[in-house]
Structure 1
Amino acid sequence: MARLRKWALERKFEFKTIWSNKTRVILGCVDDKFSWRLRALVVPHSEFFVVRKLVDKHTCDTTHRNPNHMQATATTLASLICSGYHEKNDGLKSKQIIDLVRLNHGVQIKYMKAWRTKEIVESLVRGTPEDS
């Protein structure tokens, strides 16, 4: 799901889960008028999905593209900014993360999400105290 969230952020559209269980997932456009859909099956004994059907006609206009993107979770944002994070010894501040996400991805996030993103990035880059 992480790759799908990144893909949705890059293409500036949102999706919702229509159906999900342990073996399959069906996703659709947030607006029911549009036909974008994805059906995928879970690969047994792994965390991967196999896409079985994709209707890639995503014709949402800009009124359905929310600046507070549904797929912009703290974990997804952390994986997107993780590569450039270690450039500074102090890391990035929450306000800098808010600005970076807005400039690079066109998504407006709140301070608490930026704070959670910062904590996740720091644990990804530096590790946790328990690991050391």
Structure 2
Amino acid sequence: MSDLPPDPPRLRAILAHLERQVAEAETIGIYLRLQRDEVRKALARATSAPTRAQARAPQRREPPRRTPSAEYLMESKSGPDDPLPVVVHVGACTIRQGRRTPSAISPQQARMVLTDTVIGAEPCPICRPENTLGIDLA
């Protein structure tokens, strides 16, 4: 673009117009990227969903699986910014935070998690797993 006018008012007008075009292009680019991401998610759902033929096929019914009751359960953090602590429960305890799915752990793992200061796990104040494990956390 060597044919630009020499005077500042026209150069400012051209610059303002170009800046508006760039801003619009960025907005359109953001919108298109969002749309692209939604299409990718829909495609992933569609490819993982059963086909119509698979859906019509007779389903073999399996008896419900019984999971063995765990001796101890651990509610881990859902991420590094999760404000809730790691909590250990006796397996039959029904008083849990509810937002996190507990993992079954062995008595040895429960002892380690409760006594490791780096993990900083807390015992459930209701079921008191430290009592059944025979450890003193005081």
TM interval, short-chain normalised:
under 0.3
Q: Could you tell me the TM-score, scaled by structure 1's length?
A: 0.22
The structure with the largest alpha-carbon Rg is: 2
Q: Which of the pair is proportionally richer in helix? A: 2
Q: Could you tell me the TM-score, scaled by structure 2's length?
A: 0.22
Q: Which of the pair is proportionally richer in strand? A: 1
